[in-house]
Amino acid sequence: YHLEEYMIKGDLISVQSGKKVILGKKLSERLKVKMGQTIYASFPDARGTSLMVSGIFDPPVGWPEDLAIVSLETARSFLNEGDVASNVDIRLEDIYQADAAARSLQDYGYKADSWQKLYPEILQTLAIETFENNLIMLLILIIASFGVGSVMYLLVNEKTSEIGMLMAMGAKRQSIMNIFLIESGLMGLMGGAVGAVLGLALSLYLGNLEFSMEAPGGQKVTLPVVISLESFLVIIIAAIALSIIAGSYPAYKASRLDPTQAINA
């Protein structure tokens, strides 16, 4: 993060000179502190000290509201532990590599914890949401397959005479059944392909949307959109399979027709 973008008053580098502090907006409001005033900061196992407020900023989304920033030198004087760093946060491009990164650091003798270990409830929430999304997608496909089955049933009734003529000309019952099964599969393929293209277009559109947040500098937040080729293939294959299953009964009914009665229907 470039914290300069979130400054409301003052300058971020001002904390480097002397005992100064930059307060979060909500914290400064709660303490009723303004720029240039002095506060006394203390906490357990640390040496209390007076700090002058040299800046106020609005923390980025997801950051604690009650946040204060001091220089590294000031923080070390609080803890009185000398020239050391007590804590380091690492930001990864792939957040799911956090466990592997933590294990690598532990091999070097450092105490390292991943966000999965610190916040297991997030993983539980993600797992529940993934299950719900997959269940909803499956129900949508099943409902769509019923529509394919209904269309195929009506098609068999409309083409009864043609089916009877094909049988009278020597077409096998299995061939008749295969014709309608293939047609069901093609309907599923076209529906799945069109849905995948529309879904891709919608995902790209949502991924490019920017939402203005109430933060200095006009912070912009975009929706995290992950496009997976594997997901599209699974959806299309599932649509084809369910369409064939839905068209099985109409296809079976068509193959069981009596040629004489079908021609006169």
Q: Checking phi first, is residue 218 left (phi over 0); if not, alpha (psi -120 to 50) or beta?
A: left
Evaluate whether 75 touches 88 at the Cβ level (below 8 Å): no
- pLDDT, averaged across the chain: 82
- Tokens 């500098």 locate to 217
Give the model confidence (pLDDT) of 6-62 as tens digits: 888 888 888 888 889 999 888 888 888 889 899 888 877 777 888 999 999 888 766
Mean pLDDT computed over 109-134: 82
CB burial of residue 159 (10 Å; 0-12, 13-18, 19+): middle
pLDDT at residue 223, as a whole number: 61
Percent of the chain topping pLDDT 70: 91
Domain assignments of the chain as residue spans, ordered by start:
3-87, 91-115, 120-263
Closest CA to 69 of 58, 79, 83: 58
Residue 2 and residue 201: Cα distance in Å, rounded? 32
Residue 126 and residue 174: Cα distance in Å, rounded? 47
Cβ contacts of residue 164 below 8 Å, gap of 6+? 257, 258, 259, 260, 261, 262, 263, 264, 265
Mean pLDDT computed over 257-261: 81
Give the model confidence (pLDDT) of 154-178 as tens digits: 888 888 888 888 888 888 889 989 9
**pTM reported for the whole predicted model:** 0.54
pLDDT at residue 53, as a whole number: 92
pLDDT band with cut points at 50, 70 and 90 for residue 216: very low
> CA 26 from chain center: how many Å?
29
Element (H, E) at 56: strand 49-57
pLDDT band with cut points at 50, 70 and 90 for residue 182: very high
Cα within 13 Å of Cα(75), Cβ side: 13
* CATH for 3-87 (2.40.40, 3.90.930, 3.20.170, 3.30.460): 2.40.40
pLDDT band with cut points at 50, 70 and 90 for residue 229: confident
Give the model confidence (pLDDT) of 246-255 as tens digits: 889 888 888 8
Element (H, E) at 141: helix 120-158
Residue 139 and residue 3: Cα distance in Å, rounded? 45
SS3 assignment, position 133:
helix
Q: Which two tokens stand for residue 98?
A: 């956090």
